[in-house]
Chain A
Amino acid sequence: MSTELPVLKDKDYASDQDVRWCPGCGDYSILAQMKKVLSSIGVPRENLVFVSGIGCSSRFPYYMNTYGIHSIHGRAPAFATGLKCTRPELQIWVITGDGDGLSIGGNHLMHCIRRNMDLNIVLFNNRIYGLTKGQYSPTSPLGKVTKSTPMGVIDNPLHPLSIAIGCEGTFVARSIDVNIKHLGETLRRAAEHRGTSFVEVYQNCNVFNDGAWSYATDRDTKSDTIIELEHGKPLVFGKNRDKGIRLNGMDPEIVELGKGISEDDLLFHDEKAAEPSLAYLLSRMRHPEFPEPIGVFRAVDKPRYDEELNRQIDAARAKLGPGDLNRLFNTGDTWTVA
């Protein structure tokens, strides 16, 4: 018997809770794209779980009409890990931020990615602590003046994607809150990937760090500061698509097309490269020296922890038979008192 699955619309994924982000916050756009993607891929709402930590982005689960855990600061990947190990059929999204995921929760993020747990992690990077009202975060640039750094930030910022790649990430991507088509497509790719999908989203906190990504979003500048990655295609950018990235030895360099340089001379993107070196190199391309790549940096297939764990359970059962308490109790030497 087959029953017609109800066709769900974006709004069916919205919970009955009022969204409480500041008006104009980049989080709204991500929420909207998420609902759109989920309705398009047709995962039943009851099989979706959103898990978050603490921070503005971590309110996300409350706004989704799915299962959800708003957990504690930085630990969302750990909750999601236990859930996925025991309920592999669920599709689990971890929603985190630059403070939650990279500062207090850095350890969990790292281990979750290296285990290649079959989870989708979306890190909203706004380069600031929003919920606690404006302290610097691990992605705030050097020199940034914030409430907790009146004379400027003096610690080196982290690059989320470099970390994900360093942790053997199998799916690593970047998108931008206002770039909604690209964002939707990136989330869809993340949902489809088996293993940990790590997506960094440039997100504007218009209250505490407005314009942190303006170079990447302003109509006038974005074609020179952003480069869209496409698998198998050369790295071309610029308003007139007249510039590209070429490898000079081990280093990328910006070249102008024409004048003896053709697209064939450029670096070609290969998201499926077995070695992560290219993806890492791309993750190191930072504004203002380089245009910053968006899109899928890396998408490779590797064994997943949750699957391997359950494979071991099946193998043990096939070999030893299912558990039997009386057999358990009689393990080792036993004796009888008459």
Chain B
Amino acid sequence: MSISTEGLPATTKHVIKLDDATVRLVGDSGDGMQLLGTQLTNTSALAGNDVATFPDFPAEIRAPRGTRAGVSGFQVQFASEDIFTPGDRLDALVAMNPAALVTNLGDLDAGGILIVNEDSFEDKDLKLANLKSNPLEDGSLDKYHLFKVPMTALTRKAVEELGLSVKIADRCKNFFAMGLVYWLYGRDLTATLRFIESKFGNKPDIALANERALRAGWNYGETTEAFVSSFRVDPARLPPGNYNNVMGNESLAWGLITAAHLSGKELFLGSYPITPASDILHELSKYKNYGVRTFQAEDEIAAICSAIGAAFGGAMAITTSSGPGIALKGEAMGLAVMLELPLLIINVQRGGPSTGLPTKTEQSDLFQAIYGRNGECPLPVVAARSPADCFYVAQEAWRLAVRFMTPVMILSDGYIANGSEPWMIPDAESLPRIEIQHPPGVENGEQVHFRPYERNERLARPWALPGTPGLMHRVGGLEKEDGTGNVSYDPENHEHMVKTRARKVALIAQDVPPQAVTGPESGDLLVLSWGGTYGACTTAVERCRRAGLSVAHAHLRYLNPFPANLGEILGRYQKILIPELNMGQLRSIVRDTFLIDAIGLNKIKGKPFAVAEIVAKINALLKS
């Protein structure tokens, strides 16, 4: 018995055309909301929409059922135009239980569509959600377009012939909800049916039940009188090409594999599981036939140390983590700086300090990235701005690491890591190769006077690999004499080496593209941003410009060193606004570097910026 992956005919009901829609699906963390959201996203992307997503889930794997703490959500915006964020306000909210409803209702616009599973609003459910009265009856939902759907009962009915247990039947109700949402937005079922087939292929009765629930949800929309019309969002005018919908961690992993190939290296990852970075480890571990070796180390320290060992041996070495793990790697990062070996250190930031908010996003590890080691210990820091951008940042970081023989830190964050967006698939042949040279051995194996710390014009030292005859040398964490690499306690040499290491990193500013600015070349206000706030800042600035305001925007990829022209750019504007999901870390560094009194917009709630928050700040600044 296998399922049919045939889609359903188009709706015969009235269709309303929209430019974009923002939908949030919320339920218990065991309700399959993430799966539902991912499917809706992929289907929308396949339909040609631009998409942006924001999954939001609790740190606990299964917090108590039905409680507010256990609510898991997935927000997606799909649009017929270019979008950069998953949207601020919701056009539609699908809530599987009262706890999910009340914790998310505040983001739904008045008049917005609200679909609830009516069957989960019994007294016990209300009690679990800490509700005194039933919102479906107390009039608190009057300002919304409410659809009460008995999803549990309808799902049970849809799968009744299959003779499944009630528990298993009830698990299909997310597919019922999915079917209804698909109907509401005119989505094709085919891709999801194919997904059901491949995911549940070895459990035919479950596959069949999910298929029936999905179709039943769609049919419910089509046949029930309550739903008068559905919506349509036309394909976006994305540049022509082939697209894939990628999540940030996945795109980062692919970028790393690509960088390895482009540089003729095999990839070694030393990593220790940590939210929200673990998916990079999972993803990379799938690609063994690409020569990818992943090593799940005993701890964060061993993870980076194993990577440094692999780098010494000539591999493309990487370690991935999040803030708390990066803290543990501090000493080893310092060693990598001393050894002047290429290495990528990836921090997928989360809310801190300490264990903080593991599943929530924040940009509060910028200081840690730039300063967080003992001694004078500079290393380059680059930041990804979006899920698709991770692919390119990975390659750029590796290019810098091998060109300058230095560890490089890549900053991502939970919002980028778990979010997704369409990525235009490049032709592998068109990607720039990354040149690496290793000094050759001495033919007869005779010892030469090899100088492991002899520097080239970029101050980079040679990457001589074990196994090369005649180039035997020792490296270590003690200060070394320039050129020979021998241990040296000479005061003049130490100062020289500290300055040389700093100068080498500073030279990178000459090697990266100049900072780009959108909008007016000079004027009242420049918004300066970095990392995952790219989408919100870009959208906010565009919106303000459309409203006639003069506001420019520069988004930084290179945080250490800054692009060479940044100071000059900052000098052209009256005011500099730096929105950050921290207490103002970039702002401090900008003030320190350029003596410019930048203004901060800071949010530390574990949540990304809403576009409206940035728009309001821009408006306020331009008015005053």
Contacts and interface: CB of A to CB of B under 8 A. Distances in A.
Nearest to B287: A323
Given A89-B467, A329-B428, A337-B238, A72 B288 contact: no
Contact of B289 (A50, A65, A80, A313): A313
Contacts of A64: 474
Contacts of A336: 240-243
A113 to B, nearest CB: 11
Interface stretch (B290-298, B376-384, B591-599): B290-298
Interface stretch (A27-35, A244-252, A314-322): A314-322
Contacts of A321: 289
B323 interface: no
A90 B467 contact: yes
Nearest to B195: A333
A258 interface: no
Interface string B329-345: 00110010001000000
Contact-residue bracket for chain B:
35 or more
A335 B335 contact: no
A333 B191 contact: yes
Most buried by B among A17, A79, A80: A79
A325 B431 CA distance: 11
Interface string A51-84: 1001000000110111111111001011111111
Contacts of A86: 266, 268, 293, 310, 313-315
B268 A65 contact: no
A329 B426 contact: yes
A65 B472 contact: yes
Contact of A44 (B293, B469, B476): B469
B500 to A, nearest CB: 20
B306 interface: yes
A308 to B, nearest CB: 11
Contacts of A312: 288
Nearest to A320: B289
A320 B289 CA distance: 7
B254 interface: yes
Contact of A61 (B46, B288, B441, B476): B476
Interface in B597-614: none
B447 interface: yes
A78 B295 CA distance: 11
A54 B478 CA distance: 10
Contact of B308 (A65, A82, A90, A325): A82
B235 A78 contact: no
A231 interface: no
Contact of B291 (A45, A79, A323): A323
Most buried by B among A54, A82, A331: A82
B427 interface: yes
Interface in A292-312: 309-310, 312
B542 interface: no
A313 B290 CA distance: 8
A279 B298 CA distance: 26
Q: Lowest 9 A-B CB distances belong to which pairs?
A: A70-B476, A323-B290, A82-B306, A82-B309, A78-B305, A325-B428, A316-B288, A79-B309, A68-B474
Interface of B: 42, 45-46, 48, 191, 235, 238-245, 254, 257-258, 261, 266, 268, 270, 287-293, 295, 297-299, 301-303, 305-315, 317, 331-332, 335, 339, 425-428, 431, 441, 444-445, 447, 466-478, 486-487
